[in-house]
Amino acid sequence: MSKPDDTGMKMDAALAGRMIDIRRHLHRHPELSNEERETQAYLREALVDAGFETVRPVAGFGLAVDIVGSAGPSNRKVVIRADIDALPITEASGVPFASERAGVMHACGHDAHAAMGYAAALLLDAHRESFSGTVRLIFQPAEEAEPLGGRRVIAEGLLDDVDAAIGIHVDPYTPAGRVAVGAGPYTLACDNFDVVVTGNSAHAAKPSDGVDAIAVACSMVTEVQKIVAREIDPYDPLVVSVTGIEGGGAYNVIASEVRLRGTIRSGLEETRQKAWQRLRQVLAGIAAAHGAEVAVDIRRGEPAVVNDPDMVDIIKRAGATVVGSDNVLMAPGWTAADDFAFYSEKCPSVYFRLGIRNADIDAFYPLHHPQFRVDETALPKGAMVLAEAARAFLEKPR
């Protein structure tokens, strides 16, 4: 059985404890996308207290800090990205450091990502003499909701002088402490849509006098599923989900308007475009068949994350150094979206997953669940993999 490499960076108990303290503080005080003012201030203070003199605000409520190696001159730069925002979820995890902000929770593990980013920064700072070039830590706001922080990071030019990027996400489906990664598309693109169906109101006892917008909308919900089931290759990932329906208001009135909302997740750009086209066509056809009208608004979100094969190899080697090669899994991507995709569009990138599943402490609930928990014993490993991967990239010849 392969064991971790003793030559890698090591995290002492003091840093591991500080990382957990930071994670728990952030968990108690979560903030929604584009509202991370207190999170930004707290992380900035933590970094300054750790000795980083230049910690600059970026992308609204984000932060960036550069760690320059001293092993020799080099213009190479690699980014480590850690997202920091929370979700509009009422926490029910039962942990003693649960959210103190009503209706807001770190249910996607971004508190853990931020804490691992902090620890990786300190590890790299302590080992500056072992690498040349620069590691840029970006603590990114607004991964969960528009306006997306990843898009703003690119717009502000934070990756213009960068050669590669590394992202991490906790994974409740993978055993705690294991690393999962794979080459190629690793998340799906995410687009959202809103639909307004307009019919004609009538007395509920005489529906023939009107056009029932609810009946039309129900047909739409059913039929759009056939875009995926009957028009797309099963090996070509596509998800079309209607996630909301609103209409009507009285027992005896046929609804004249219904609103639908939903999401499209796709792997290939060609499939993404086809899904947009077919959604519009199917909805328009159903509306016409029922004598109704429909307005469709589709908003383009983040693209798919695409993992560069060479960067995947770096994560595999870094993972083997930290947790042993037997604990590095070549695993398929998932259908969630992540705005780290904007980074992967800009430069060779890798997005890997850190297992945090442990049934003994009820750390098995999925992301975005009110009972979501993290096995914190995995976090030092995640931070060390981030640091080792960044150092390995900077050591790699051009």
> Which residue ranges are tagged as binding site?
108, 110, 144, 169, 368
Cβ pair 350, 340 in contact under 8 A: no
Q: Write down the residue that tokens 């569009």 correspond to.
A: 345
| Close Cβ partners of 280 (under 8 Å, ≥ 6 residues apart) | 296, 298
Closest CA to 181 of 344, 53, 352: 352
Q: Write down the residue that tokens 């503080």 correspond to.
A: 25
| Close Cβ partners of 133 (under 8 Å, ≥ 6 residues apart) | 68, 69, 74, 75, 76, 77, 78, 394
In one letter, which amino acid is 294? V
In one letter, which amino acid is 141? P
The span from the CA of 24 to the CA of 28, in Å, is: 6
Known binding positions for Mn(2+): 108, 110, 144, 169, 368
| Close Cβ partners of 238 (under 8 Å, ≥ 6 residues apart) | 227, 228, 232, 264, 265, 266, 267, 271, 275
249 burial (CB, 10 Å; 0-12 / 13-18 / 19+) is exposed
The span from the CA of 194 to the CA of 245, in Å, is: 10
192 burial (CB, 10 Å; 0-12 / 13-18 / 19+) is middle
E runs forming strands in 130-268:
134-140, 164-175, 179-181, 184-185, 189-198, 202-203, 238-247, 253-254, 257-266
CA 140 to chain centre: 11
3-class DSSP state of 215: helix
Closest CA to 156 of 63, 23, 36: 63
* CA-CA-CA-CA dihedral for 239, 240, 241, 245, to nearest 10: 180
